[in-house]
Amino acid sequence: MSITLVRLLPDTLNLNGSLGNAEVLATRMRWWGVDVTVTDVNRGDKLGDAPDLVVIGHGTSSMVTPAGAELDRWRDTLRGWAESGTHWFGAGLGGDLLGESVALDATAPRTPGLGLTEVHTALRANRASTEVSGLDYRGREVAGYLNDAALRETSDAAPLLSFLPVPNDTWQGGNGEQGEGVHSERLWATAVSGPFLALNPHVADDIIASVFAGRGIPLPELTEAHSRVDSAAETARAWIRSRLGGA
Amino acid sequence: MRLRLAIVIGRLVRSLARARGGGSAIPGRIARIIYPKLLDHTVGAIGTVVFVTGSNGKSTTTGMLVAALRAHGLKVFTNPAGSNLPQGLASAVLADVSSSGSLDADIAVLEVDEAYGPIISSELEPDHLVVTNLQVDQLNRFGEPERVWEMIRVVAERTHSTLTVNRREPALLSLAHSLRPGASLRTVDVTDAVIQAHPFGLAAADIFAEPYSSDETATLTLEAVDAARASITDSHGASHSVGLPGEGLHYAVDATLALSAAELLVERFSWERATEALSQMPPVYGRGETVTFSGREFQLVMQKNLPSMQVNLRGITSTPERVWVAVDEGTPDPSWLFDLDLGPITHVDVLTGSKAWQWATFLGYRGVSVGEVIADTKKAMVALAAHSGREPVTSIVNYEQMMKIRRIAGLMDLEGGS
């Protein structure tokens, strides 16, 4: 089986290890013997055929305008990809740009996002910079480092990705539950820094399972390589939980 | 009266702290509480004040500038490397100031933390500002480099005379928009050939600041870097060979900036004296230092942030015999590891510190084998010292672990040496 993965705007949205999420997805699939082609699509490039998977990384606030302009230029094609079954993972600003709009602050002009989620984001609110630990949408442990200053609003019905204490209380929606991120059938977006999927491989495998399901293939058993990194990630999460005062 | 009181009490606290082997910041903090204008009324009374700030290379550039100025007979007041917060500066003042509050110096050259620049410059406005670089650094502290740029911009706005930057950093050039009337921009240049010869280049933060087109000729141009030697051309076209305290493009850029500032500040600048002074500088603290424990050498490779670690890893040109990674809460968010090129490292023997398992996860995805996790630093050193092998253990460490390792190895001196 061969899978195509596009890293969208890695020249612009590549902050703090966030493209590590693409590395995690590609590496896990390769460990299962899948032929994964990773293609970078940068500013000014032409888009090709719809890939199986898109990963879009985090960027600084001054990247909103150039990244937003490029996404706007590609809007029809990218939305076409989404409708044709492409899966999406967005980290930080990349995840925000998959939503309705992004603004530098609550009063600044809004840059339209791709509209694949209902989230409106205003950057430069109260910043949280701390490790976090909680549960994901299926009640499994998630952990990471939240370094985030954005205020996000969404509808109450939008399902959160993670249920965890967000110190700056910047995710408004999700039925008033405290958490971050958003997910839908074929989209996952998180505000947690960097390689979220490395520390939380069960979410990575949800994404891969969904991609494989589109080809009618079930998720295989974990290989030794998967088990080794997943065991390290589990201990890393436990240490984070412990540092936060959890059992 | 309050100035004298601050000096007397500050010095008393300093004596007590030193007697107990304690840190250097507390005396300065207390003196500033007693007399908040301490910096202005002591350092500010010196004829010329220079600030050196930026993401990386502040200590090196400050040290180089001080060495070059002293080589010309100038009496320079400066702060120890890394003591670059307001209290650290105040403690440096307490070490040198007379009881009446005067400093016997012709010029002050101060290393200033980029985040504390706005506070320090609100108390003491610089005549000259040298900005080493703007890199993606300490995101857990700053969130994004744009915020650091804004803090440096505030200092630029308060600078009276000159701002010196590397013109290959567009974000730093754009600081010129904020200079007050009468203050001017000075630049150094780095040739394309030099940048292209270094795989990770200048690692300047890519932020979208208002562009500034500089028509001024660069004061100095870095033409070539060969190991620990730089070739720098002056504005008359003369080429000068400069010995550096270590190998790497960053040291060469630091030297170019320091020499440009020295050329400005010295009435009869002598390249011979300045380059001689730079060539005699000791290696920068903690960068490539080797410490010995239980008969085994540990070569320390600093893990500060992505750009600096990438540069430090470049010094590893073949697969090391033994590799140790020791990283703790001094690096709260090690996410940037996934942007790292590990070069020839194919195995890590021991992982240590509270971030060990995050490192293990990362290394797993890179196919790098991991021996064992030993959380405690000393136990790890004991285990590594017992391992076979002749080469020093390549030890990738963050600052806090480096300090711990040095203490365990019996090196008790504080950073900066005084």
CB B294 within 8 A of CB B126: no
Nearest to B164 by CA among B129, B121, B189, B133: B129
Percent of chain A whose pLDDT exceeds 90: 81
Whether B136 has its CB under 8 Å from any CB of chain A: the answer is: yes
Q: Is the pLDDT of residue B295 over 90?
A: yes
More confident residue, B412 or B85: B85
Question: Is B327 in contact with B353 (CB distance < 8 Å)?
Answer: yes
Q: Provide the pLDDT for residue B82.
A: 77
Q: Can you give the pLDDT at residue B412? A: 63
* Of B2 and B274, the one with more pLDDT: B274
Chain A contact residues (CB < 8 Å to B): 14-20, 23-24, 27, 60-63, 65-66, 127, 129, 131, 145, 147, 149, 193-195, 198-199, 225, 228-229, 232-233, 235-236, 239, 243
What is the sign of the dihedral through the CA atoms of B261, B265, B271 and B273? negative
pLDDT at B312: 82
CA distance B363 to chain A (A): 9
What's the pLDDT at B199?
77
Using one digit for the tens of pLDDT, what is the confidence trace for B177-190? 999 999 999 999 99
Distance from CA of A149 to the nearest CA of B (A): 8
Question: Could you give the ipTM of this predicted complex?
Answer: 0.95
Angstrom distance (rounded) from CA B241 to CA B232:
6
Nearest C-alpha of chain A: how many angstroms from B213? Answer: 20
Residues B251, B249: Cα–Cα separation, whole Å? 5
Contact list in B for residue A199 (CB cut-off 8 A) is 358, 361
Is any Cβ of chain A less than 8 angstroms from the Cβ of B364?
yes
Nearest Cα residue in chain B from A25: B365
Answer yes or no: do A61 and B146 touch at CB < 8 A: yes
Q: What is the mean pLDDT of residues A182-207?
A: 96
How high is the pLDDT of residue B265? 97
Residue B243 has pLDDT above 90, yes or no: yes
**Pair of tokens at residue B408:** 């365990």
Q: What is the pLDDT of residue B335?
A: 95
Mean pLDDT of the region A159-167: 84
Q: Say if residue B390's pLDDT is above 50.
A: yes
**Best mutation target, A14, A16, A64, A141, to test chain B (most B CBs within 10 A):** A16
pLDDT band at A175 (very low <50, low <70, confident <90, very high): low
What is the reported pTM?
Answer: 0.90
Helix-helix angle A201-214:A20-31, to 10 degrees: 60
Question: Which tens digits make up the pLDDT trace of B49-89?
Answer: 999 999 989 999 999 999 999 999 999 999 987 789 999 99
pLDDT band at residue B416 under the 50/70/90 scheme:
very low
In angstroms, rounded to a whole number, what is the distance separating the alpha carbons of residues A154 and B140? 26
- The DSSP-derived string for A160-200 is PSEE---TT--EE-GGG---B-EEETTEEEE-S-S-HHHH-
Please write the tens of the pLDDT for every residue from B255-286. Answer: 999 999 999 999 999 999 999 999 988 766 55
Reported as a single tens digit per residue, the pLDDT across B194-235 is 999 987 788 888 877 788 987 889 999 999 999 889 999 999
pLDDT average, residue stretch B145-157: 96
Of A166, A174, A133, A134, the closest CA to residue A147 belongs to A166
B332 CB neighbours in chain A (<8 A) are 129, 131, 145
pLDDT at B1: 75
Cβ contacts of A236 on chain B, cutoff 8 Å: 357-358, 360-361
Ranked by mean pLDDT, which of A157-161, B21-25, B116-120, B284-288 comes out on top? B116-120
Q: Which of A24, A43, A147, A192 to mutate to test the interface with B (most CBs of B within 10 A)?
A: A147
Residue A197: name the closest of A151, A136, A155, A130 by CA.
Answer: A136
Task: Give residue-wise pLDDT tens across range B327-357.
Answer: 999 999 999 999 999 999 999 999 999 999 9
Which of A14, A147, A233 comes nearest B361 by C-beta? A233
Among candidates A58, A240, A57, which has minimal Cα distance to A144? A240
Average pLDDT, chain A: 93
Going from the C-alpha of A106 to that of each of A103, A186, B325, B363, B409, the distances in angstroms are 7, 29, 43, 40, 53
Query: For chain B, what is the mean pLDDT?
Result: 91
Tokens of B91: 């403690």
What was the pLDDT predicted at A173? 60
Residue A214: is its pLDDT beyond 70?
yes
Check if the beta carbon of residue B191 is closer than 8 Å to that of residue B230. Answer: no
Q: What is the model's pLDDT at position B287?
A: 61
Contact with chain A for residue B333, Cβ under 8 A:
yes
Q: pLDDT-based confidence at B415, cuts 50/70/90?
A: very low
Tell me the chain B residues in contact with residue A27 when contact means C-beta distances shorter than 8 Å.
365
Q: What is the dihedral of CA A57, A60, A63, A64, to 10 degrees?
A: 90
User: What whole-number distance in Å separates Cα of residue A73 and Cα of residue A78?
Assistant: 10
pLDDT at site B282 = 77
Q: In this structure, are strands B347-352 and B369-373 parallel, antiparallel, or unpaired?
A: parallel
The whole-number pLDDT of residue B14 equals 84
What is residue B255's predicted lDDT score, i.e. its pLDDT? 97
Closest CA to A211 of A37, A47, A59, A53: A53
Query: B107 in helix, strand or coil?
Result: strand
pLDDT higher at B62 or A158? B62
Distance CA B282, CA B81 (A): 13
Shortest Cα distance, chain B CAs vs residue A117, angstroms: 24
CA distance A27 to A154: 33
Which has the closest alpha carbon to B156: B112, B191, B199, B188?
A: B112
Is the pLDDT assigned to residue B418 strictly greater than 50? no
Q: Do A199 and B358 touch (CB under 8 A)?
A: yes
Does the CA dihedral B333-B338-B340-B344 come out positive or negative?
Answer: positive
Q: Looking at beta carbons, which residues of chain B come within 8 Å of A14?
A: 339
Q: Which two tokens stand for residue B77?
A: 């007041």
Residue B413: which pLDDT band, with cuts at 50, 70 and 90?
A: low
Touching check for B368 and chain A: CB below 8 Å?
no
Lowest model confidence (mean pLDDT) among A58-72, A138-152, B14-28: B14-28
Structure tokens at A153: 């609003």
Give the lowest-confidence range in B66-75, B98-107, B136-145: B136-145
Using a CB–CB cutoff of 8 Å, tell me whether B360 touches chain A: yes
Taking CB atoms and an 8 Å limit, are B338 and A65 in contact across chains? no
Instruction: Kindly report the nearest CA distance between residue B1 and chain A, in angstroms.
Output: 42
